[in-house]
Structure 1
Amino acid sequence: MTFSAPDPRPTTPDRPTAPALPALGDIEPALLEDWFRTRYFDARTDISSSGAQNYTLGRLRAVLGIESGELDALMFRDSPSLGCDPLREAVAARYAPGRTERVMITHGSTEAIFLALSAIVRPGDEVVVLRPVYQSLSSVAAALGATLRVWELRPEDGFVPDVSRLRELTGPRTRAVVVNFPHNPTGTMPDEDGYRELLSHVDSLGCYLLWDAAFADLAYDRDPLPDPSAVLDRCVSFGTLSKSYGLPGLRIGWCLAPPEVLTAMVRLRDYVSISTSPLNELIATRVLQRADRVLRPLREQAVRNRALLTAWAAEHPGLVDLPVPRGGVSAFPLFPGVPDMTAVCERLLAEDGVLVVPGACFGHPGRLRIGFGGPTDELRDGLDAVVRAVEKTLAESPDRGTATGGAVPGTPMT
């Protein structure tokens, strides 16, 4: 599956061609966003999301005790470049005690990732990225001229990260190691020993660790991983209210970063977004000050839904091969016999109104990304529809083939 956009730049055939240089304007299409762009609002049943069930403003105000008078008194002036102090203090209190000066508030973690990579990476740098992975964590670095060193999370290992493979990819030219744990789309994460080994190795290299912790508050069977910025100085960690908190439309994220990185990020931000909204900051501050009230029902639902998902996979052993997610609310099952699930995804939306994400968006076309953070009834209906669609596809294909779940050669890094 490929998506492409026209090149908007004028051609000048009489002008000598200059050596090709990296340009952000040549960044790869965001395959996941392209998939959602024309389908997201047409779905009746959404089991595509990597986030928890979304809050309404009314429900959130009831949970947090936000009165209308507090909103009415808000002045719509620009916020400070790093975000308002109450929100930075609330982020630090929960994720980085005593380090408020390292907090920057951003438009979701996506802006933080973009700004941090732009501040750190230069052409020719070597940057280690995961595969499969959320595309911002790889394509931005590539567009900045970095040489990508791919740390493959292998299906045969259940996508569990193997730090010995990371060691083989790093060296004196390594500028940054970029990871997201719990992982999107598989839900994998290192165990405690693997986490310590990863941090120790990055520390020995003297490079940056960029740590996307969008799902830090949703871990199963073990404690959440500590934020590595507490022990590594050259670390930029990212957080967001879009995933575990069920507030993607609020567009509030943050990063924890060394002062010199924040300075460079602010300089870049002056040309991009300037600051975040004071209204969104006010709501986000209340959310983080009472985080457990917001998170508790979403965690409980995620636990129930994960049990439903694993039971569903167990009921269809020849049809579904599910690596059990250890964190987050996304899963990445394989469907043996269907080499490319993209047509199945189109069928699901057209016939049942069910939205899922084809694995081709992550370089694994025989898989789906299924989100299990939403309403339980919706998940159950969506999973039943997936089984029906796969069974129909198999029945219509006399040569069923075999899907290995591996990345397809030549597939864009996503």
Structure 2
Amino acid sequence: MRRARPGTGYPMRRWVFEDARGRYDIDLGDSHVDCSTVGDLPWPADLVLDYGTDAGGDRLRSLVADGYGRGVDHVGITHGAQEALYLLFQALLRPGDHVVVFTPGWQQARVVPQALGCEVSCVGLTADGRPDVVAATELIGPRTRAVVLNSPCNPSGRRLADDETEPLLAALRRHGGHLLLDEEYVADLAADSLLGRFERAVSVSSLSKVYGFPGLRTGWMCGPPELVRAAMDVKHLTTISNSVLTERLAAEVLERREHYLERYRSLTSDGYRALRDWAAGHEGAVRVMAPEGTPFAWLSLHTGETSLSLCRRVLDRGRVLLMPAEVFDSEQGVRVTFAREESVLREGLDRLGALLDDRSG
């Protein structure tokens, strides 16, 4: 994957909420499985709408903890995974600390530590789209407070093998650093989370990507109880607590965990086959990096056109939302989400294909 200099890309917030808002009818950009509806869940008409608690209700925390095989005191509920990471940054980091992040990736991991006065080292991905943990390990030293690791990686869709992390974990142990794991795209957290491999690791995830409920804005962190408590203390000074209504609905989702995970596996399996077949018909223009468990794939672009220009044309003329490389501080690539109903996916890909073939503007 091609990486631009960090901070020189195009803001995702601007692309999604300003440029594209109201201008597409097929969404192949947002990185979650097809969204579910309120009608899929039992409506709690008798629920008392009080404040709830900062760390989250016992039922929801217990369901999240069960997903990791941990105790409830290891879990704090947040407004999506992004708030979980933000609270952890606030609880952990101080001016002068050193933080290692990977790019291309989610801009928050770089921007928030910088705003807190930290020195941030940005490490690229390997040629096959995996976080370059060898390069990251070489940067870890006595001032390294945290490494932020996203696996499977957004936007490449590639994951680290267990044995690849050992040198990184050894370096963090030597210097007392923490490992912040963005595991939004890990479907089976009990089996595949890296949480159990390191004593100062914290896993962050949510109901948005795998379960298809981004509108519930319900995420969590799971890690050492003292760090989770410190993050919840910060939360009390910001949003106080999550909505008890969305927490109740989130608990209903996790009570049916296997149903939603099976839906995720089905949509990702069928969707990737459709994307792969489509890409074979456009092999001169795009090349697919095979994803490893994500609902999206990275398409490298070989037309000479910038990815932002292509995505603007596809938005303007095809009414399809894609994610250009520039929103990830990268170049010459597009993230395409394929975990969609087949008819919607094929229509969106057909529109994209027609505009790849016609670059007249």
What is the TM-score with the length of structure 2 in the denominator?
A: 0.92
Aligned residues: 354
Aligned to 2:160: 190
Distance 1:131 1:284, change over 3 A: same
User: Max radius of gyration: which structure?
Assistant: 1
1:48 matched to 2:14? The reply is no
Shift of 1:187: 0.4
Cα contact 1:88–1:103 (8 A) shared by 2: yes
Aligned to 2:4: none
What is the identity, as a one-letter code, of the residue corresponding to 2:220?
A: W
Can you give the 5+ residue segments of structure 1 that lack an aligned partner in the other structure?
A: 1-26, 397-414
Aligned to 1:3: none
RMSD of the alignment, in Å? 2.1
Aligned to 1:11: none
Within the candidate set 306, 311, 315, 2:281 is matched to 315
Shift of 1:197: 4.5
Aligned to 1:89: 62
Distance 1:276 1:299, change over 3 A: same
- 3-state secondary structure, aligned to 2:100: strand
Cα contact 1:83–1:105 (8 A) shared by 2: yes
Cα contact 2:131–2:153 (8 A) shared by 1: no
- Structure number with the bigger relative contact order (C-alpha 8 A, sep ≥ 6) is 2
1:127 matched to 2:99? The reply is yes
Greater share of strand residues, 1 or 2?
2
Shift of 1:165: 1.4
What is the identity, as a one-letter code, of the residue corresponding to 1:203?
A: R
Aligned to 2:139: 169
Aligned to 2:340: 374
Distance 1:248 1:143, change over 3 A: same
Within the candidate set 181, 187, 195, 1:217 is matched to 187
Aligned to 1:259: 225
Shift of 1:202: 3.0
Cα contact 1:217–1:224 (8 A) shared by 2: no
Cα contact 2:137–2:167 (8 A) shared by 1: no
**d(CA) in 1 for partners of 2:317, 2:190:** 39
1:160 matched to 2:127? The reply is no
Cα contact 2:184–2:204 (8 A) shared by 1: yes
Cα contact 1:183–1:327 (8 A) shared by 2: no
1:118 matched to 2:98? The reply is no
Shift of 1:234: 1.3
Structure 1 residues 10-409: aligned runs within 5 Å = 31-38=11-18, 39-58=20-39, 60-61=40-41, 66=42, 68=43, 71-95=44-68, 97-154=69-126, 157-217=127-187, 226-393=192-359
- 3-state secondary structure, aligned to 1:105: strand
Aligned to 1:15: none
Shift of 1:148: 1.1
Distance 1:341 1:43, change over 3 A: same
What is the TM-score with the length of structure 1 in the denominator?
A: 0.81
**d(CA) in 1 for partners of 2:140, 2:346:** 43
Can you give the 5+ residue segments of structure 2 that lack an aligned partner in the other structure?
A: 1-6
Shift of 1:302: 0.9
Q: Deviations for 1:318-351, whole angstroms, at most 9, x for unmatched residues?
A: 1112211112112221111324121221111111
Shift of 1:383: 1.8
Cα contact 2:208–2:215 (8 A) shared by 1: yes
Aligned to 2:3: none
Of 98-107 and 82-91, more deviation after overlay is shown by: 98-107
Cα contact 1:302–1:373 (8 A) shared by 2: yes
Shift of 1:271: 2.4
Aligned to 1:14: none
- 3-state secondary structure, aligned to 1:72: coil
